[in-house]
Structure 1
């Protein structure tokens, strides 16, 4: 950022237009002098106005970050504000008024509160009720010198005004601003959202476009502005974006033009300017009044986007697509539809994007069509005029199945007798129903807007991908399956994709969403959660895999097979899954098999299953490991749940019990990646050594082992075993100190590590100014809540209250979030944190209680039950919980079971300005479960139990033996291991290779001392398998084994026998629990039955 007092406005800002203010063209620069008084006043303007009732002082301020300042500083330009002088000689600052976040307006208070964001415009609003009747004569820029800086802190002020205050509706839907999060860019995010008009979980989005050449940041709140600071509209569009980071697809553009004969059809030349005050941006309706007397509007059903345009005489519509991968045809005399085509536009080379077919019906007769009006897109562009100057309504229906299906959806959802305004009202009602699930009372304007807008984002995703081939009364859902992408043979009017019956949902990144938004669906709308989740499980039923990132098919991305913990959380949260077996098997497929597709499954499963971690040979292998430990915890919980609910004769009952133990062991492997010499988690190399030597390690460095963060950001990534994590840091006091250090060590955005450049997450975390707390990104979202495992849970309360108060401002100017809002996840964090309940440990069946950021909230469950959270003595200063009652009875525990919340209870939270011991003691009986400790696999005061394989690859050459000759080996022995025994390949922690065992063949292992094997795993390659998630159990496949033990290697005792065990997939690892373990020196795996066994690995665990 450069500064020049002669330049009006910032230059090169990541989200702002250069050389202008927020709305106006003119600006005023300010500098904070290093000399003179600490408080510095500069007259800005002479005024002559009597303050009226509910008037508001509003201005925009752009503080510049000092990149040369030492760590933890550089924010001094935020010590700025506007003060008003009244004709009686008094100042506004003397009246103790507050800004939109409740902070004082004095520049030192603004600085100390950290409420102003750097290198971007801030929209400041100060209510003037306390000054009603006073006459304003002058407005001053007021600055405060906080410390000497390497340069003079500086910035810009613009758009200073005194105006009537906002009068907000009582209807939460009217508070939503879909532009929230759009004041973003590649290098800095305040949400990175698309301003979508849609229905909840809608098939289509309708969005306004300010840059039609950009598939990622198509609507920029300010950065695309022209020199006159008007925002250009280049189109209204059909959109299917899942995220700004490369998922947009199947985009159609429609742009009104006041002069259809001009030939100005290119994206830049057809653009019309507008001011944001001339937009109405609600989820059910978008309208904008453009220059040259043009008005453009949108609304939406599920599969139909309706657009209405008002233009002067001579106007028309420009039809366009993002690129030339499409078609456009006209049949102007057709009474059902006049325009049709298909579209395959997409970001990059996403192989899962299907062909989209569209049909457009116009309510006015088309007068003329001129096709091929845009170079390089002649086949998809045209100008259309109409024989009237009345408003024109387009009904645009889309389908991924066929043109006929698009027309069928049009007839179902917006028949000819349904008007544009009818659709507006129907869509509005759908959003009102969703927002009624959680209501808040007593919050200030900013918080009401943020809360309502967050609820919108929560239910905007995931998106329906199915289409109704039946009727509204008897729907028949069908969808084009893209779960197993290939080269589809589409026609001009019909898809080449396979068609499947049922519902499908798309557009979800489970790594982003598992922390908060899926727990929100499960808590607030359990039946809907079951439907949504099954829409992803159907991808597993279709292709054998569930997505990690779905847009609209499996696109890979991020780390961890996080759908596993989502499925488990749904089970444990009491969601009645539509297909629990397939849901469970989808998780097992992720966790127990080797994927041959990078877009699905887990990386490095061919080694990680046996080593207990993905090594540094896998990019971000440590992050994969920590995420999948959590996923394994989820599978353990799901297994235990299924075992507890299984019938006594259920053929999978023993499998559930074995898996519960096995996956719990896997989840408890996280201490193996904790390097006690440096006090952080760290990746291990293939040989087991840590990546870095202690003297080379710096936890501030980003990347390498750590996905989108550094070692600090993953120092607390074990929410399912907080007590065990605490023991790694020396106990609860040690965990508290580690958290304190995390929140006090400044992020500088200078240690770029393996990223080799500054990425937006670094800058956002720095600008939050809460140490390393990168609330701007998902890995940090649980960290403030980890104080629950210390003696200081009150620190959670203060941190979360501050974050909610100041990091979600700016909704009125396209901000509203501290970083990326991914598929509703950050919105759900805000909603949970606002009402004072947080899902710290997915799949635990409980929430954590914290200090509410709103005085009162009500959860209205679909079954009519209501739970109310009442915060007594609520104020911005009273952030600490003093006591809690549930239905009038004392509740001293931090945990709140989900089944209690669903009972319909009143939770009274009493607040005060000082910390208390609440949540640290459990002395008074009330609800029997109120005093259970917060969920953790490890008991408080003990260390995590790491259960390791009793075999060791390093010893296997000496300790393993087999009945086979070398000619029976399935694959060649590695060249560098000629001396390795044949049997050792069954214990080398590698899925490749292995042994081909015929009936009666065996592999044995000698322990160095007597051991009791209670659980073992058998990994098979291409053995006979029971295919599919509903394969018949107990089928006679002709193979099996016995597990035997011996004290001398001669006399063997059978401790387990398996006949035709069910392996659902090739290259799968299965666990088996031994009913009565026996201590012995030798253990032998001997093949029975009649089939050859492709054995890859054996593992033995203590019983």
Structure 2
């Protein structure tokens, strides 16, 4: 009802006199995510544009008009189809960009347009000189770089002609850069054909391509060229439209990166939008598993904290507890240095989030885990910040010409928070904010205590209606420090945290301490950097930073440094400004479905001691409430599917991690057997355990239940619970009840067992349709714990191989079901129906381990590592969401050559390592991983040795991996028969089909009617007659009332 229906577009040269340009009446959007395009009736050259008389579809207007995106094409004509050949010209920005600004280039108002049409189907090449006779000398530090955007015209270009356009250099000796074998900083060939064949760029967004020219020092650049070149796949009539901007040839000062922490770039994942994500996070400086993180913000309080695109202003620096943008933030306290406001007279409007911001240049920004710094153009202020576990320390450097001040704010502009700021006589301040997102409720609010290094000469609250305040300092003050402590308990506790964590230490000492703490973790993996592209190192260590950001702690020391008492503020029992404190170490900020596949396995290898802390910390939620939710943010949130904490705990138990195993098992069994309260446990628990499937739209629930039941079975084995081990092993096979043999795919079923999809209405490209954030392709081999069972369902090992091959060979389009950004991202990967941008598909390349074409895992994972994590130096680095370190965990483990395909099995599938040599200095000892002959073209494993002995299995178990001293891979350019005839462990024996138990009792009477919604009392023996003699292997009894549950029974036959 909030869709726009009618409007008038007007233009003006001066902002006062307006001309009507276009009128729309009675327009109707027929579906969600529809893009409507209008040719302006009376176009002209105007500086100002506005919409007037905008009406919505609603017959009872509520005052709201809702748009997802708006853009204006300022070119001469709308999406013009170019003539045959290729043209280049300056355009007034791009009309559509999924991740950036509309109507501009990357960094300025205009950009270069490159357009053309393929005139012949044969190989083609077209060149336009865009700069000529430059005569730029090349030195050892010279770099060639540019931004390029393959334009999206409303329909996806499946010919990918846009991707075969790039920029090239001609030297004065008439050689081209693309002819020299030069590689970009992500390791791909320079030039239009090289970039196109590498599938390096992504549609509808700016891509950054850079090449270090040091190898050509002494040469001279003559021309810069725009080139289209394609040897194969071109079709006559195909057209391309590409934009380029920020074309640079410059000498770049090398960045000193002496330790692993120096390779971290926390802006990775911020150059995106909700429409198309490349990580969807923000540059947080923090300690591992921190209490509070600190970040710059470029927004006015929206869920999106930081936008990488040029033109963004830094509005403040703030505390943050956001686990991701979708679930929002809470507990924000904001500070902003300033030296052009009169602290004595400025108004709230002068200092609010919409007016206090400052421009900045990306070149002045350094974003690391252990600290952030940037130069603000407004007042030429250098702002730096560094973290402790619960505190932040700032250093602001002014030019001394004006009297500096610091703006303090505890109200987020998106939420009507009730903040307060109180100044103390010594110039320190106490503050409180109860700002939270809708799904982040539960905490009482954030308490703050701040101390300036110089006593303010004026402290002032700007209005009685807002907590917005300002602190002013003497003119001539050049350096100002600010230490801020945070707490969920009280301002006094925040002051205590500040004293204990910072004491008398200065800014540099605290930043160095944070760096040392990160280096202790990151330094457990030492990569031989010889020949390794810088972007690989940025990606690897930034992924480790993301991995260890979560889960975060809620715990504070309410005792003394000598006798600490660790306590947490309950996100369940607290009220606003009414904290309820309990003893213990509670952890939060974790989505178990999102990260169970990789993150927790990485913890178990790289930091088992942190795995212990995290597991015990998340189990505190169960101890307090009796349930452990699917998502913690900070209390339990009803998001995603599956009780995936079950498989996380199983994975740790199988690997020998020390934690509260009995509580974990109790929690998991409860998830799998008890009808839960709202937002907890599993779906369909009132009937699913009896009929063996989750009905209607429940395949994703069903497969996750099976994954978790497999984990519970493994836990039961370890703990000696034989009946539970057998029961949950059988219920783990329930996933096979969702396999429709008529169509050969897993699909949903109705409660009576009928198929929701059959030959007449099935479309494997349809998203949602029972598949969480995926489709039937993405879900067709999700039973990672039962590869042999999948072989049985697909007609043998060859059948499973064919299905995997079909996934990667399929068209990359999708059918509109539930449309979300994941659809578009998956399509742009150009790997068929493989969807690395989201978790449900990321195991698929490793499922070849169950086939006799294992080499395909090696080729695919190497391609993903090289191609789908590009943009590390451009705020990208991921394709899709990076949830709680999950995509990062995939990169880390796969690049090392080992992947936990089936959590709970204790095994890792072996694949092609990315690096030539890596040394792991782990708590369990040192392990060297060496890949010999590991050139780009040598993707395939020819042999593996472990401590000098041949290793011929496709898997290695956790104990063997961590017990090894040296693992050596021999790599080659062609597939080999290494590991032939070996397969991962599987629930189903080889050569058989899955065998879930079936209920023998007819659905008759409240005691056997396949639902927990009915109950009754049995006072006499109940006789049940079967149609034919059957053997009962196990009996389950359910009770509606724990206090009246039967304590004993006898079964007769």
In 2: Cα distance, 1:952 partner to 1:859 partner: 57
Residue in 1 aligned with 2:579? 496
* Residue 117, structure 1, aligned to residue 202, structure 2: yes
Q: How does 1:976-1055 map to 2 (within 5 A)?
A: 984-998=1005-1019, 1001-1024=1020-1043, 1039-1046=1046-1053
* Residue 249, structure 1, aligned to residue 336, structure 2: no
How far residue 219 of structure 1 moved from its aligned partner, in angstroms, is 0.1
How far residue 859 of structure 1 moved from its aligned partner, in angstroms, is 2.0
Query: Equivalent of 1:613, from 669, 693, 698?
Result: 693
* Residue 453, structure 1, aligned to residue 542, structure 2: yes
Query: Equivalent of 2:805, from 740, 749, 767?
Result: 740
For the 8 Å contact 2:710–2:729, the answer to whether it is kept is yes
Structure 1 residues 205, 167: closer, same or farther in 2, change over 3 A? closer
SS in 2 for 1:1045: coil
How far residue 869 of structure 1 moved from its aligned partner, in angstroms, is 1.3
Residue in 1 aligned with 2:747? 682
Residue in 1 aligned with 2:832? 771
In 1: Cα distance, 2:224 partner to 2:90 partner: 21
For the 8 Å contact 1:15–1:185, the answer to whether it is kept is yes
Structure 1 residues 324, 40: closer, same or farther in 2, change over 3 A? same
Structure 1 residues 307, 74: closer, same or farther in 2, change over 3 A? farther
In 2: Cα distance, 1:155 partner to 1:126 partner: 20
* Residue 318, structure 1, aligned to residue 407, structure 2: yes
Deviation per residue, 1:13-71 (Å, 9 max, x gap): 1211233333454421111332378211111213222211243221111112354357x
SS in 2 for 1:124: strand
Residue in 1 aligned with 2:422? 330
SS in 1 for 2:201: coil
In 1: Cα distance, 2:979 partner to 2:938 partner: 17
In 2: Cα distance, 1:452 partner to 1:798 partner: 23
How far residue 944 of structure 1 moved from its aligned partner, in angstroms, is 1.6
Query: Equivalent of 1:895, from 949, 955, 969?
Result: 955
Query: Equivalent of 1:762, from 811, 820, 823?
Result: 823
- TM-score after normalising by structure 2: 0.88
For the 8 Å contact 1:328–1:339, the answer to whether it is kept is no
In 1: Cα distance, 2:509 partner to 2:1034 partner: 63
Query: Equivalent of 1:640, from 697, 706, 717?
Result: 717
In 1: Cα distance, 2:1042 partner to 2:222 partner: 87
How far residue 333 of structure 1 moved from its aligned partner, in angstroms, is 1.4
Residue in 2 aligned with 1:259? 340
In 1: Cα distance, 2:607 partner to 2:562 partner: 23
Residue in 1 aligned with 2:305? 218
For the 8 Å contact 2:117–2:238, the answer to whether it is kept is no
* Residue 752, structure 1, aligned to residue 752, structure 2: no
Residue in 1 aligned with 2:259? 171
In 2: Cα distance, 1:68 partner to 1:260 partner: 50
For the 8 Å contact 1:299–1:306, the answer to whether it is kept is yes
For the 8 Å contact 1:99–1:125, the answer to whether it is kept is yes
How far residue 568 of structure 1 moved from its aligned partner, in angstroms, is 0.5
Residue in 1 aligned with 2:561? 472
In 2: Cα distance, 1:474 partner to 1:773 partner: 53
SS in 2 for 1:159: strand
Deviation per residue, 1:420-463 (Å, 9 max, x gap): 11110110001001102222224221111100100000001110
For the 8 Å contact 2:940–2:976, the answer to whether it is kept is yes
Residue in 1 aligned with 2:34? none
In 2: Cα distance, 1:921 partner to 1:988 partner: 46
For the 8 Å contact 2:117–2:237, the answer to whether it is kept is no
Query: Equivalent of 1:941, from 984, 987, 991?
Result: 991
Deviation per residue, 1:86-119 (Å, 9 max, x gap): 2222222221212223222231221121011111
* Residue 569, structure 1, aligned to residue 651, structure 2: yes
Deviation per residue, 1:556-593 (Å, 9 max, x gap): 1000000000001100011011x211111111111110
* Residue 188, structure 1, aligned to residue 209, structure 2: no
In 1: Cα distance, 2:441 partner to 2:1021 partner: 45
Deviation per residue, 1:587-632 (Å, 9 max, x gap): 11111101122x211111111111112111xxx4221111011000
Deviation per residue, 1:986-1040 (Å, 9 max, x gap): 1111001122134xx2223222222222211110111327xxxxxxxxxxx9x53
Structure 1 residues 429, 130: closer, same or farther in 2, change over 3 A? closer
In 1: Cα distance, 2:786 partner to 2:136 partner: 61
For the 8 Å contact 1:745–1:772, the answer to whether it is kept is yes
Residue in 2 aligned with 1:917? 977
For the 8 Å contact 2:698–2:770, the answer to whether it is kept is yes
How far residue 490 of structure 1 moved from its aligned partner, in angstroms, is 4.7
In 2: Cα distance, 1:683 partner to 1:256 partner: 56
Q: How does 1:59-70 map to 2 (within 5 A)?
A: 59-68=146-155
In 2: Cα distance, 1:588 partner to 1:113 partner: 48
SS in 2 for 1:784: helix
In 2: Cα distance, 1:354 partner to 1:48 partner: 64
How far residue 548 of structure 1 moved from its aligned partner, in angstroms, is 1.0
For the 8 Å contact 2:898–2:909, the answer to whether it is kept is yes
For the 8 Å contact 2:439–2:633, the answer to whether it is kept is no
Q: Which has the larger displacement, 126-135 or 276-285?
A: 126-135
Structure 1 alignment gaps of length 5 or more: 644-655, 923-932, 957-983, 1026-1036, 1047-1103
Query: Equivalent of 1:703, from 765, 768, 777?
Result: 768
In 2: Cα distance, 1:265 partner to 1:344 partner: 21
Q: How does 1:280-359 map to 2 (within 5 A)?
A: 280-291=366-377, 292-311=379-398, 312-320=401-409, 321-322=411-412, 323-334=415-426, 338-348=428-438, 350-359=440-449
SS in 2 for 1:811: coil
Residue in 1 aligned with 2:356? 270
For the 8 Å contact 1:568–1:635, the answer to whether it is kept is yes
Residue in 2 aligned with 1:366? 456
Q: How does 1:357-756 map to 2 (within 5 A)?
A: 357-373=447-463, 378-388=465-475, 389-415=477-503, 417-442=504-529, 443-482=532-571, 484=572, 488-491=574-577, 495-497=578-580, 499-577=581-659, 579-597=660-678, 599-616=679-696, 620-643=697-720, 656-749=721-814, 751-753=815-817, 755=818
SS in 1 for 2:307: coil
How far residue 151 of structure 1 moved from its aligned partner, in angstroms, is 6.0
How far residue 127 of structure 1 moved from its aligned partner, in angstroms, is 2.7
* Residue 9, structure 1, aligned to residue 28, structure 2: no
SS in 2 for 1:801: helix
For the 8 Å contact 2:443–2:576, the answer to whether it is kept is no
For the 8 Å contact 1:62–1:119, the answer to whether it is kept is yes
How far residue 77 of structure 1 moved from its aligned partner, in angstroms, is 0.9
How far residue 777 of structure 1 moved from its aligned partner, in angstroms, is 0.3
Residue in 2 aligned with 1:1080? none
Residue in 1 aligned with 2:119? 35
For the 8 Å contact 2:92–2:111, the answer to whether it is kept is yes
For the 8 Å contact 1:371–1:378, the answer to whether it is kept is no
Residue in 2 aligned with 1:85? 170
For the 8 Å contact 1:564–1:635, the answer to whether it is kept is yes
Residue in 1 aligned with 2:240? 153
Deviation per residue, 1:721-764 (Å, 9 max, x gap): 01111211111111111111111112224x121x2xx3110010
In 2: Cα distance, 1:350 partner to 1:90 partner: 59
Q: Which has the larger displacement, 401-410 or 714-723?
A: 401-410
Equivalent pairs counted in the alignment come to 949
Aligned-CA RMSD value: 1.9
Deviation per residue, 1:499-548 (Å, 9 max, x gap): 21111111000000100001111122222201111101011111101121
How far residue 149 of structure 1 moved from its aligned partner, in angstroms, is 7.0
